Amino acid sequence: MNFEQFVRDIKENKWAVHGAEVYENGALIHSYGDTKDNIYDIYSATKSVLSIAFGIVYDRGLIDLQKSILEYLPAEKVNAMTKQQKDTFSSITIQRLLTMAVPDYPLRPEGDNYLDFSLSYEIHNPQKIVFNYSNIDSYLVGVACSEVLGGDLGTFIVKEIFEPLGIERYELGYSPEGYFYGASKMKLCVHDLSKFGLLMSNGGVYNGKRILSEEYVSLATSIQQMNREGGYGFYFWKYRDGFSINGKWKQKCYCLPKQKLIITYLSHIEEDSHDLIDSMEKNILGIL
């Protein structure tokens, strides 16, 4: 492992990397840049945090993967839907939303009420199971969790996840109508994003405290839906023989349980380039 060369590559290429960490056997062995002082946008890495929150709700028996999303939405919204809308969503299960397996949805919800937008959007072949990455899927899962909990999902995440993980500084995002927006809008520091990798790599246990069941961790981090990137779990991506947490502008936490390695970095690189991951794989993982 040549972490020093990875850092040199970052500096010489002027890649906008805020900070990076490497863990081996659960211990921090390398660190670069701003890993603790400031919080940064993690964009779609928020979805993995949502997955963990969902997992807690699932472990408590409050939600069923195979039931339609309609079972968990506000009754007044469901009652106001047309028969065609209800027929459309009757086949869209929680599991399909967790695996981005709903066709036709655009990348993001629009307007001043995301729930109305999501339920009125025309889905042409709702029974077709195909990978279609959309923030609407995770937003709806967040709404379902809020409804079964009977309160704010953001508050639940702080109490049930952030506090046990020792995460004290963060920002949470909400939809215009007030639901926790589980698709994006979260800010964390590098060091705290690493904690989610540690939790999931350790089968749902962090610092001796069980937060998630091993069953859910296995479901969430294994391939549930194929895609061109190699596979997708419950808001976790397949990465080599492990999995990863991904944000849109190279916010990453790579988890390789067999090698007992976790590599985390937060960046703001909008270019569609593989240079940063190529350097990481070459210098940290030894992949040429």
User: pLDDT tens across 32-62, in order?
Assistant: 999 999 999 999 999 999 999 999 999 999 9
Q: At what angle do helices 46-59 and 135-149 cross, to 10 degrees?
A: 40
Residue 59: HSE in the Cβ half-sphere, 13 Å Cα cutoff: 19
288 — pLDDT class (breaks 50, 70, 90): confident
Contacts with 237 (C-beta within 8 Å, 6 or more apart), sequence order: 229, 230, 231, 243, 244, 245, 246
Alpha helices in 60-129 (DSSP H): 75-79, 83-90, 94-98, 114-120
pTM, full prediction: 0.95
Phi-psi region of 172 (alpha: psi -120 to 50; beta: other; left: phi over 0): beta
pLDDT tens sequence across 84-142: 999 999 999 999 999 999 999 999 999 999 999 999 999 998 999 999 999 999 999 99
Predicted confidence at residue 224, as pLDDT, reads 95
Distance between CA atoms of residues 126 and 148, nearest Å: 24
Q: Which of 159, 183, 180 is nearest to 248 (CA)?
A: 183
pLDDT of residue 150 exceeding 90, the answer is yes
Predicted confidence at residue 65, as pLDDT, reads 97
User: What spatial distance separates the first Cα and last Cα of the chain, rounded to whole Å?
Assistant: 12
164 — pLDDT class (breaks 50, 70, 90): very high
Q: Which amino acid is at 45?
A: A
272 — pLDDT class (breaks 50, 70, 90): confident
Q: Whole-number mean pLDDT of the chain?
A: 96
In this prediction, residues 1-29 reach a mean pLDDT of 96
Query: Which residues share a beta bridge with 68?
Result: 93
167 — pLDDT class (breaks 50, 70, 90): very high
Residue whose token pair is 């995301």: 114
